[in-house]
Amino acid sequence: MIEVSPSEIPVGKALWEYIKAKDLKQIVAARVDDQIVDVHTPIKATPKSVQLLQPDDKDALMVLRHSTAHVMAEAVKKLFPKAQVTIGPATDSGFYYDYDYEPGFSPEDLEKIEAMMRTIAQTRAPFRRFTMSRDEMKKMFADMGEHFKVEIVDGIPANDELSYYKQGEFVDLCRGPHLPHTGYMKGLKLTHTAGAYWRGDEKNKMLRRIYGVVFFSEAELKKHLEQQEEAKKRDHRKLGKELELFGFHPWAPASPFFMPKGALVYNQLIEYMRGVYEQRGYQEVITPQIFDAELFKRSGHYDNYRDNMYFASTHASTETDEQDAREFSSKPMNCPGHCLLYGMHKHSYRALPYRMADFGRLHRYERSGVTAGLTRVRTFCQDDAHIFCTMGQMQSEMLAFIDLVGEVYPAFGISEWEVKLATRPEKSIGSDEAWTLAEKSLHDALNQRAIKYEVLKGEGAFYGPKIEFHIKDAIGRSWQLGTLQVDFALPERFDLTYVDSDNTEKRPLMLHRAIFGSLERFFGVYLEHTGGNFPGFLAPEQVRVIPVSGDQNPYAQEVLEILLNQGIRAGLDISNEKLGAKIRDAQLMKVPYAGVVGKKEVSERRLAIRKRGGEDLGALPLEEAVAFLVKESAAPKLGTPKGV
């Protein structure tokens, strides 16, 4: 990124002229007053700040992806003139474009399209932006036979400026920004096709979607493809089946079944967090699963979130029924119920902060197109907690939570994460003053801990801004897990109060927070992070005792009972398989330790210990071996990093 003095930028001219005059290389786009713009469009007014983006800037990659989607659409139109183009955005992992084309695209078609895209890239055709009136725009696309584009134009708000981009002879409706020219596309790969409904609505026409990835160099593409191959090996859905952890059934779509081994891991996560709560002054509660819909009308979720909720109605069956016909909903989150619980008693300022934790099951209706294994499900629970506190306590509670995240993640071998601050969205509740104060408090807390963070404008919850914690897994992928959200609105809506030191009632502040986030999502992400090699305290089977032959079975049984009595989750393999096969089976099931028993171990009362990676720790005296395995199987203490 190159900082440019705004005084150097001539108003009414494009940045490209400045870039050429200064002989600057590899400029992708520009950030002008925090807005990403292309370098060919003239600057309308003197900016406050100008930054020229180079390939190593994250926003530059999104510009590359978006531009490449346009180039793919151009290639498709050249090769398949009857295909109609619809939309083609950049995504967090690449880009795609949807087409109305039958019979769809074969793998051979993708190879042809990719080759045509490379040819277009070599032309170094500039991306140029043009504006047009609504009627002219509709006529242009109608004359081109692009009826989906006409429909998109109709859906754009009346006061919005309409623009299109052109590279070569290809024209596409777009607000931009785009690359200076097509030659920036180096590492390109079309990956696969899929069906997609127009506008994501199953009532609409099924379109043909082509996905791709692109980078500024072939080396980056190679690294990405290698990462994707590693990701396939670590896919939590594959590992979940192989390790007998969880499964799904079509009669409960997007709702996981946890098998005994998976349930054990799941419950260990909860127990670990319960220990954290006990240390940090949280009180666990249990709240109802089903609520009258009036609760969610009061909270604002009925108006702002109802499309993602499950509803049911009850009807009076007899004239004597006390229950009238009512609308009910399963809870999609715990916060409204926690407000009811807080409001059941009077609270003194001396009792605040009140930290309320809940592992209650939640249900959200996620569209089938976005559900994915454990990472996006319809039923889940969270390590969810809400902190009711005074304004004076807000900052210290924020800092305490940020510090807690910094202790918990390393305990699971997670050493790297990014922090993002999401601000007020367009659709929100609450006063301007409350939002300003909440956002400032989050900024101040992060700055006080000297934490670098990215601001996500307009991506906060409808009731308040939030901090998001995005972890980096073992192969460099980013996953959003933890969150801290500020909420002035719900205490107001539920008329929550506390009695202050001056004996007057005041309104508490509410903080929503989670570290794992959804336990299901954390389970899936962590399974991929570890490749199934859970640390000892989480492993469903921590030690497998393996006798070399049947002669050692009695001693192996004795060792097993000693381990079980010490609280170790141990198993015993007394099958007729050879020793090598038994050890391989334990390794395939990711058992952290194998305790091998042969003639010498029996005679000397020892246990030969092997790690699942193949390292032989030797034969230890039984008492010493048990003590070692107990230590390795113990949950990490809070604040004590423990690698995977």
Active site residues: 335, 364, 382, 384, 386, 466, 512
Task: Give buried/exposed letters for 318-354 (b at 16+ CB in 10 A, else e).
Answer: eeeeeeeeeebbbbbbbbbbbbbbbeeeebebeebbb
Contact 360, 320 (CB under 8 A): no
User: DSSP letter string over 432-453?
Assistant: HHHHHHHHHHHHHHHHHTT--E
* The total number of residues written for the chain in this structure: 644
625 vs 608: CA distance, rounded Å: 8
What tokens appear for 423 in the block? 């601000």
What do you get for the CA distance between the two ends of the chain, in Å?
36
67 vs 214: CA distance, rounded Å: 10
- Short-list 36, 25, 26, 32, CA closest to 4: 32
465 vs 454: CA distance, rounded Å: 13
Give the number of other CB atoms < 10 A from CB of residue 15. 25
Number of H helices, E strands in the chain: 19, 33
191 vs 169: CA distance, rounded Å: 26
Main-chain dihedrals φ then ψ at residue 205, nearest 5 degrees: -65, 140
Task: Give buried/exposed letters for 103-134 (b at 16+ CB in 10 A, else e).
Answer: eebeeebbebbbebbeebbeeebbbebeebee
Q: For residue 362, what is the enclosing H or E element?
A: strand 361-363
Give the number of other CB atoms < 10 A from CB of residue 422. 22
- Give whole-number Cα distances, 483 to 160, 271, 422, 460, 596, in Å: 34, 20, 10, 11, 44
Which segments within 161-301 are labelled E, that is strand? Answer: 163-167, 170-173, 187-197, 206-215, 246-247, 257-258, 282-284, 290-292
Alpha helices in 80-209, H assignment, sequence order? 107-122, 134-144, 147-155
Angle, CA of 411, 415 and 417, to the nearest 5° = 120
- Short-list 602, 599, 594, 576, CA closest to 632: 594
354-358 vs 417-422, strand pairing mode: unpaired
> Tell me, what amino acid is at 386?
H
Residue with tokens 């001396």: 350
Residue 549 DSSP SS3: coil
What tokens appear for 492 in the block? 């107001």
